[in-house]
Chain A
């Protein structure tokens, strides 16, 4: 294993080789520094890597409150998260864990308290990063999900347009035809894994569309962001080899700058600008020179692919899991397809693809009878807030016509509220509309395999068997 500075040099060299023809070197080095910090924003510092080894998690009723550690990356996989968070909500809604592998942290687990923390950006900072692991030393972070106002607002507004509803209207037809293509190619005679074939494929296509990224290389977008969000040191994920991530970073820098330059050239040659992110940035006075600020440029692109990757993917898989656990709801849906939009919100509530966001207290704050000290880490467990019985009736039930499904916290609240929320809803709505046109049933035939992470709540394997609609009534 190389030392930290060794790896840094290595990466630097690789990046410069990769992109010297496209971007002047000094800018590259800036871009590199940025990447280091951007990476850390998502998956934490480079320190001796913890490898997590799965052990059976004890029943929560056998533990004392202080021993409850909800940062365990196997809590979700072992389906233990429900009783763990219920106990915290009931007995210690603002709970301190002193000794987690990620350091000490507070857990906020009730809906109202989470909303309060998320809204109060004056009391709780999103800097320097939003996952549980330690903050990096002396490195600035350039992803606006981990910036406070006013800097956050400036950055967000420069990229917001690409996923704003106005732009989405332009994309709906394309999303629908691509979704249809994928569904039409599925095997009807045997079980298959829905995750790579549908959920990953559709999100990969979407990301490629947003960035106008070379379509044949779209799998790269998925792989980069999978590894970034799945680092062991950050979220307890399965990727412990950091050197691969450094290769990724170099690769990303190269691809993204090339993308920018190509687009610039095509435009100069008279091509109409598209509705992709790069075209949008190039059309805007404030951002038309963004390539000259590589730290910002790469940061914003990276955030978009990470933000839109496993979140939507796991909602696409999670919906099927939910329908199979609650088969009455699928019947209800077939009888009333107009419930799809509300069902989409309910899927996102029930799945809660991202378990939490992290904050740092900017001053001492009293919350739930506890004193959170300035500098303490505070984790807002959206996954728990979405199952808070004080807010939702029968919160663990999946109910597609739930009245207040839209009140879920899966997109967060306040200034950082998910920028891609409408895109995610659109993708899921189209997926289910197209599913209902084609299939009479989608049966989950094996227990799904869940991802190892305390942050991403998703599936790596979901074996399903399709029943096509009777030909006569189809389409």
Chain B
């Protein structure tokens, strides 16, 4: 158990609870966070679940795999700490993590 904070592009904050083991995309969709579409359902194949992880949490989310890197490279709003949230599986260590949403999804 823990909480994660989503910050929309207009700075609106959403603090939601999570159970370890599901993806950040799933948490966002379950909580109807605006701005995360998750069109492909978590298959790393649509690029509509882009989040920008805050610097101090970025390393804890692991490293993007080849598939993710490939799709990220096509994302116009990509930053240095961008991830696809469907590829981040939350653990109890991620309690308190903050992620920002880009202005647009691909």
Contact = CB atoms under 8 A, between A and B. Distances in A.
A142 interface: no
Given A115-B40, A149-B70, A166 B76 contact: yes
Contacts of A156: 74
Contacts of B41: 404, 407
Interface stretch (A414-422, A429-437, A441-449): A414-422
Contacts of B74: 153, 156-157, 160, 415
Contacts of A166: 76, 103-104
B76 A161 contact: yes
B73 interface: yes
A406 interface: yes
Contact of B45 (A161, A164, A417, A422): A417
Nearest to A116: B43
Interface in B91-106: 103-106
Nearest to A422: B104
Interface in A141-189: 149, 153, 156-157, 160-161, 164-166
A462 B39 CA distance: 31
A277 to B, nearest CB: 15
A160 B44 CA distance: 19
A411 B67 CA distance: 18
A406 B43 CA distance: 14
A349 B12 CA distance: 31
Interface string B20-53: 0000000000000000011111011111000000
B104 A165 contact: yes
B43 A407 contact: no
Contacts of B16: none
A413 B76 contact: no
A406 B48 CA distance: 11
Contacts of B39: 406-407, 411
Contact of B76 (A164, A414, A417): A164
- For chain B, give the interface size range: 20 to 34
Contact of B40 (A160, A407, A422): A407
Interface residues of A, number: 21
A414 B73 CA distance: 12
Interface in A385-413: 404, 406-407, 411, 413
Interface in B62-106: 67, 70-71, 73-74, 76, 103-106
B46 A413 contact: yes
Given A164-B76, A165-B103, A118 B70 contact: no
A164 B104 contact: yes
A417 B46 contact: yes
A415 B45 CA distance: 7
Contacts of A413: 40, 43, 45-46
A414 B46 CA distance: 6
Nearest to B45: A413
A115 B43 contact: yes
A220 interface: no
A115 B39 CA distance: 12
A119 interface: yes
A413 B46 CA distance: 6
Given A115-B45, A414-B45, A417-B45, A160 B71 contact: no
Contacts of A118: 45
Interface in A74-124: 115, 118-119
A449 B82 CA distance: 47
A165 B46 CA distance: 15
A469 to B, nearest CB: 30
A165 to B, nearest CB: 3
A153 B44 CA distance: 16
Contacts of A415: 70-71, 74
A306 B45 CA distance: 23
Q: Which of A118, A404, A415 has the most B CB atoms < 10 Å from its CB?
A: A415
Contacts of B46: 413, 417
11 contacts: A115-B40, A115-B45, A118-B45, A119-B43, A160-B74, A406-B38, A413-B40, A413-B46, A415-B70, A415-B71, A417-B45
Given A161-B76, A415-B70, 16 more contacts: A115-B40, A119-B67, A149-B70, A156-B74, A160-B74, A160-B76, A164-B104, A165-B76, A165-B105, A413-B43, A413-B45, A413-B46, A415-B71, A417-B45, A422-B104, A422-B106
Interface of A: 115, 118-119, 149, 153, 156-157, 160-161, 164-166, 404, 406-407, 411, 413-415, 417, 422
Interface of B: 37-41, 43-47, 67, 70-71, 73-74, 76, 103-106
Which 10 pairs from chain A and chain B are nearest by CB?
Answer: A165-B104, A413-B45, A164-B76, A119-B45, A414-B45, A406-B39, A413-B40, A407-B41, A406-B37, A413-B46
